Amino acid sequence: MSGRKRILVTGGSGFIGRNIRESYLAERYELLVPSHAELDCADERSVDNWFRSHGVDAVIHAAVKPGHRNAADRSDLFYTNTRMFFNLERHRREYGKMLLIGSGAIYDNRAYRPRMREEEWLERIPADEHGYCKYVCAKAAEAADNIYDLRVFGIFGPYEDYAIRFISNAICKALCGLPITLRQDRIFSYLWVEDLMPVLEWMLEHEPRFKAYNVVPDEVCSLRALAGTVLELTGAEVPLRVAHEGRGMEYTGDNARLRGEMPDLRFTPVREAVAKLAAWYRGHLAQIDRGALLTDK
């Protein structure tokens, strides 16, 4: 036996799960990343059988049925996502803690304010299905003694859906000689996906004081400014097209609670992170489907 902690990572084929699997955490821990055939989190019997034959110290729950505009199937979104969470939550006495990859959507998209604070989630019940799902799971996490809700807002990096995710979409369009497009400028808290890893490690190794944390960097950025950074870093001479002038609702979080726990945490500056991602896409240029970039979804 290696003596390393055994961590179940759900959603290992998705954007966040795949980045966890390929991060330094794979050397720090024994990551168990079962395929859907091995563990169907939405199926009670599958989850029960898996825990019957596997012992783990912690769970990182990154699996999610997506409800975004490019999702192949948006049916039963609430049912599937809550079912996955509660099937894992039922086994909470069989592991030390669960780290739930949550979302800023919990704050209700009708009432976003700049730098949302964790306690503000109790002020409204989200009207949209995605946000409501996060709300219900967070209620259960609050009642449990070993489940922690890590709320990411914008997060970007390799393996995200470049057909719709703005930073990857802008980079891929620039590299393919296509115009960069956005509906309207907005300000986001964008987290470089690699910066999630030390937060996960800290949470696995310590006893957090709170049940929920906004995992957002100190820096916020506008979509228009990000597009300019992409153009500068790629050297592409393509137009930037904005469908609607003005600025839409801000989507940012306050990270004071996280900073209180991890005062020395370094977040990658957004320009540096965009440069890393652009270099990654240059190395995977043959895998970019140019056709997927031709229609704005």
Task: Return the half-sphere exposure (C-beta side, CA atoms, 13 A cut-off) of residue 282.
Answer: 11
CA distance 25 to 35: 19
Residue 190, SS3?
strand
Q: Which pLDDT belongs to residue 1?
A: 42
CA 198, 204, 205, 208 dihedral sign is: positive
Q: Give the pLDDT mean for 48-70.
A: 91
Q: Give the pLDDT mean for 182-198.
A: 98
- Give yes or no for residue 131 having a pLDDT over 70: yes
- Give yes or no for residue 67 having a pLDDT over 70: no
The answer to whether 212 and 139 are in contact (CB under 8 A) is no
CA distance 130 to 60: 19
- Give yes or no for residue 75 having a pLDDT over 90: no
The answer to whether 223 and 185 are in contact (CB under 8 A) is yes
* Cα 82 to Cα 64, 188, 261, distances in angstroms: 9, 26, 29
pTM of the model: 0.96
CA distance 216 to 258: 9
The answer to whether 77 and 65 are in contact (CB under 8 A) is yes
CATH class of the domain at 6-293: alpha beta
- Give yes or no for residue 271 having a pLDDT over 60: yes
Phi, psi (degrees; rounded to nearest 5) at 234: -90, -20
The answer to whether 59 and 18 are in contact (CB under 8 A) is no
> Beta strand pairing status for 180-185 and 240-247?
parallel
Q: Where are the domains of the chain?
A: 6-293
Tokens of 8: 């179940």
- Give yes or no for residue 171 having a pLDDT over 80: yes
CA distance 275 to 115: 26
Residue 221, SS3?
strand
- Give yes or no for residue 74 having a pLDDT over 90: no
The answer to whether 6 and 50 are in contact (CB under 8 A) is no
The answer to whether 115 and 253 are in contact (CB under 8 A) is yes
Q: Which pLDDT belongs to residue 2?
A: 59
pLDDT band for 296, please (50, 70, 90 cuts): confident
The answer to whether 102 and 152 are in contact (CB under 8 A) is yes
pLDDT band for 71, please (50, 70, 90 cuts): low
Per-residue model confidence as pLDDT tens digits over 21-42:
999 999 999 999 999 999 999 9
The answer to whether 221 and 286 are in contact (CB under 8 A) is no
Q: Which pLDDT belongs to residue 202?
A: 98
CA distance 106 to 213: 12
